[in-house]
Amino acid sequence: MIRDIPRFSKHNYDVLIVGGGINGAAIAYMASLVGARVALVEKNDFASGTSSKSTKLLHGGIRYLENLELDLVAESLKERYIQYQNAPHLVKKLSFVIPVYRNETRPLWMMKLGVWLYDLLSGPYRLGKHNHLSRERLLSVAPLLAQKTLVGAVSYYDAQMDDVRICLENVLMADVKGAHVANYTEVVEFLKENGKCVGVKAKDILTGRSFEVRAKTVVVTAGPWSDLLLRKDSKKSAPRLRATKGVHILYKGQLSDQAFLLQSASDRRVFFVIPFRGHSLIGTTDTDYEGNPDQVSVDDADVDYLLKEAARVFPQIAFNKDNIITSFAGLRPLVHEKGSPSKISRKQRIEKSFSGIWYVLGGKYTTYRAIAKECIIKVLPRLSRKLPSDKEHPLFGSGEVSVDIKQAALRFGVPSETVTYLIGLYGSRYWDVLKMIDDDSSLRVRLCECSVAIRAQVAYSVKVEMAQTFDDVYLRRLQLQYNDCPSRQCRHSVENVFKTYVA
């Protein structure tokens, strides 16, 4: 993938997409698949916004059953399954348990009904069967749970995914299909003729240079930043979003092999404790946010809330801020509605402004493919008959992986665990990463004691995956921030290889 800024001014694109989170990436990929000339620009790095701050679930959203959003849940369950099939290296089945305590607002019978309905709505797309667990059975599999007032539990299946990688693989596929894509390219102004949008003025953040990009249609997929672009489009526009902040913490050590959906005692919300890379991902909060989306951050109050709620359910663990490996905050770009943040619908809206600019608002990560499809039907109606079937939506690494791990390890001089890990991250592209060692044997070296990641991945991030900064490699393409690494050696190693290859 080449970041070629001058070519953006040489074309009149069918579609220009503003924002390289999951929605922009998927729309760029799908629009390229149906034969449109596509440009995608992202002001920061791909997936650096909400699309790297999610709970990392492809899920129907069992809690939306309470809001009777049956259509959204059913659509999400189908999408979950399609992606489980299409991108097995990035999407894994995960078992969830919901323990129920006496006097909780959602009693056991309601939970039993919920998981039954969830499976029913899954229809042929079910990932596994729900179950009821007695108190004794639950404590035998999850002995750290609070026991007093525990009534029983239910279990069900959902899927865990890699939000950054799925987004990046959509961008890579868009590029393969002919889209022109660039990160660190900000849309600063819309170009208009007779009141209609004919393109944008964009700024290359890396050089400070401005340039124009012409397009027949502009689609804004700027997530929580959408209202800022809407105001550039028309000063009189009323805000369309209600952004809510969600914080996660990654707590040292895995509390269980199971994921837990838990009811919070303080505000009736539900939150998760999920096994994640050998540790426990705890989240999320859900609070209104009115500040600048660029400045969203984790506050002490967010961390206190999550630790307090987790400690109530796992009383044997002495939760302590020092054991937090990392934390992150993201903004849900929800369509404006009144009421409690958790009750706002996650359903997307795709709307056109007076100047002809399309805005993709709201939505869930899980339904990104369905959102992209709906967008193509609205924005490119004549090409929409070429939309691919559900099966024809492969991601960059979703080809078949046939490999003799030991032999690959021997061939490149790396440990077998490294080969297994690379297959998990890059799918069928793991070989391309390893092949870099043929040109530079130092790339086979491990980055750090804290993981089996190797230097070749840094080079691959720069050469193939358009990484422009240290963070693009460390936080997104390799996601090393989730490792418990006291020495911080991995930071230095990434920095060193990055400097060599970016030059």
Ligand X SMILES: Cc1cc2nc3c(=O)[nH]c(=O)nc-3n(C[C@H](O)[C@H](O)[C@H](O)COP(=O)(O)OP(=O)(O)OC[C@H]3O[C@@H](n4cnc5c(N)ncnc54)[C@H](O)[C@@H]3O)c2cc1C
Q: Which residues here bind ligand X, judged by CB under 6 A?
A: 18-24, 41-44, 48-51, 53-57, 59, 186-187, 221-225, 229, 246, 284, 330-333, 363-366
Nearer to ligand X, 198 or 306 (CB): 306
Nearest residue to ligand X, using CB? 21
Q: How far is the CB of 48 from ligand X (least distance, A)?
A: 5
Q: How far is the CB of 383 from ligand X (least distance, A)?
A: 22
Cα distance between residue 39 and residue 229, in whole Å: 17
- 274's CB contacts (< 8 A; 6+ apart) are 55, 56, 57, 94, 160, 259, 260, 280, 281, 282
Cα distance between residue 290 and residue 242, in whole Å: 8
Nearer to ligand X, 44 or 263 (CB): 44
Nearer to ligand X, 18 or 38 (CB): 18
Q: How far is the CB of 486 from ligand X (least distance, A)?
A: 27
Contact call for residues 375 and 383 (beta carbons, < 8 A): no
Q: How far is the CB of 322 from ligand X (least distance, A)?
A: 23
Nearer to ligand X, 314 or 359 (CB): 359
Q: How far is the CB of 221 from ligand X (least distance, A)?
A: 5
Residue linked to tokens 């090409």: 383
User: What is the enclosing helix (H) or strand (E) of 191?
Assistant: strand 185-193
> What letter does residue 449 receive in the DSSP assignment?
T
Which among 199, 170, 219, 178 has a CA at the least distance from the CA of 25?
Answer: 170
Nearer to ligand X, 133 or 229 (CB): 229
Nearer to ligand X, 228 or 401 (CB): 228
Nearer to ligand X, 12 or 292 (CB): 292
- What CA–CA distances, in Å, run from 18 to 39, 332, 387, 447, 496? 9, 18, 21, 35, 32
Q: How far is the CB of 34 from ligand X (least distance, A)?
A: 20
Query: 429-433 long-range contacts, Cβ below 8 Å, gap at least 24?
Result: 429/396, 429/397, 430/397, 430/401, 430/403, 431/403, 432/460, 432/464, 433/457, 433/460
Phi, psi of 21 (to 5 degrees): -85, -165
Contact call for residues 52 and 104 (beta carbons, < 8 A): no
Q: How far is the CB of 56 from ligand X (least distance, A)?
A: 6
For the four alpha carbons of 437, 438, 440 and 442, in that order, the dihedral sign comes to positive
How do strand 91-101 and strand 131-133 relate by DSSP bridges? unpaired
Nearer to ligand X, 46 or 426 (CB): 46
Q: How far is the CB of 271 from ligand X (least distance, A)?
A: 11
